């Protein structure tokens, strides 16, 4: 239930934006989840439904999944993350802290661990829509 903590962060951030934008009722929240963190969508959705405050009661939570793209800083190669090549323990470690990917994943072209997580790292609040 690590997702619970991330859902709390999403709700808190969305509330802060709503307050700033003077939105009294939230209609839609769009969240992106990067594949690297392997967030369980159903658990995240359940946590969001449990944590949402009254002003979010009619809000639709759109969850979009984003592929994870790595870019090697040494040879410039880009490639996509695939969970299948990882054992369960490694996949779980990356789920908790995606940056530990640098301990386990190397550039498939040159073997360097010096790569950038260019896209699709973790949970991101993309947008919120509501009425004033």
Residues that bind other proteins (CB under 8 A): 1-2, 4-6, 8-10, 12-14, 16-17, 93-94, 96-100, 102-104, 113-114, 117, 121-125
Q: Which CB sits closer to other proteins, 8 or 60?
A: 8
Q: Which CB sits closer to other proteins, 5 or 110?
A: 5
Q: Which CB sits closer to other proteins, 28 or 114?
A: 114
Q: How far is the CB of 60 from other proteins (least distance, A)?
A: 17
Q: Which residues contact 33 (CB under 8 A, 6 or more apart)?
A: 39, 41, 44, 63, 64, 65, 66, 122, 123, 124
Q: Which CB sits closer to other proteins, 2 or 83?
A: 2
Give the position of tokens 């009294």.
Answer: 24
Residue 62 φ then ψ, to 5°: -90, 125
Q: How far is the CB of 110 from other proteins (least distance, A)?
A: 14
Give the CA-trace dihedral at 72, 77, 81, 83, to 10 degrees. -90
**CA 77 to chain CA mean position, Å:** 23
Q: How far is the CB of 82 from other proteins (least distance, A)?
A: 19
């Amino acid at each position: 239930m690590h997702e619970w903590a991330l859902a709390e962060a999403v709700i808190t951030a969305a509330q802060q934006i709503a307050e700033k934008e003077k939105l009294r009722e939230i209609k839609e929240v769009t969240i992106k989840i990067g594949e690297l963190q392997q967030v369980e969508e159903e658990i995240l959705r359940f946590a969001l439904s449990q944590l949402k405050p009254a002003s979010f009661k009619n809000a639709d939570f759109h969850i979009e999944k984003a592929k994870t793209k790595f870019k090697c800083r040494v040879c410039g190669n880009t490639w996509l993350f695939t969970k299948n090549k990882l054992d369960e323990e490694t996949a779980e470690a990356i789920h908790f802290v995606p940056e530990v990917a640098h301990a386990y994943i190397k550039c498939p072209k040159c073997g360097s661990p010096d790569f950038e997580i260019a896209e699709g790292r973790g949970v991101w609040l993309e947008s919120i829509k509501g009425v004033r």
